[in-house]
Amino acid sequence: MDCIFCKIVEGSVPSKKVYENEHVLAFHDIQPSAPVHILIIPKKHIPTMNDVEAGDWGLIGEVHRAAQEIARQEGVAESGYRLINNCGSDSGQVVFHIHYHLLAGTKLGPLNA
């Protein structure tokens, strides 16, 4: 399957990993839009939020749990951070393997900027 994030999970495409467990991986965004910009993904290939099935919600919860831990690890839990999922065309989603952006390290601008 031609999915860049699956290739990162497999290790055939390199990434700067910040967190990994059996089901979840997190790594630095290649084109950061904040001082801290980390992508958090389930290792399972789920294209978008629309494709999350009944049995996947625990996995999505694990992604959120990872975000909480990564925020602490990166030292931004107290200063604050933003967790964003883009879903589909209008959101600007370009990689169709579900992921959350963790943005932090500065005062973030308005959501729709």
Q: Positive or negative CA dihedral for 60, 72, 82, 4? A: negative
Residue reference for tokens 């749990």:
65
Residue reference for tokens 């963790």:
102
Question: By CB under 6 A, is residue 100 in contact with ligand 5GP?
Answer: no
Q: Which of 23, 28, 99, 101 is catalytic?
A: 99
Question: By CB under 5 A, is residue 6 in contact with Zn ion?
Answer: yes
Is 99 catalytic? The answer is yes
Q: How far apart are CB 85 and ligand 5GP at their closest, in Å?
A: 8
Q: How far apart are CB 95 and ligand 5GP at their closest, in Å?
A: 4
CA distance 102 to 113: 17
Task: Write each residue from 36 to 75 as x if it is in contact with Zn ion (CB under 5 A), else as -, in one continuous string.
Answer: ---------x------------------------------
- Assess contact for 95 and 13: CB atoms under 8 A: no
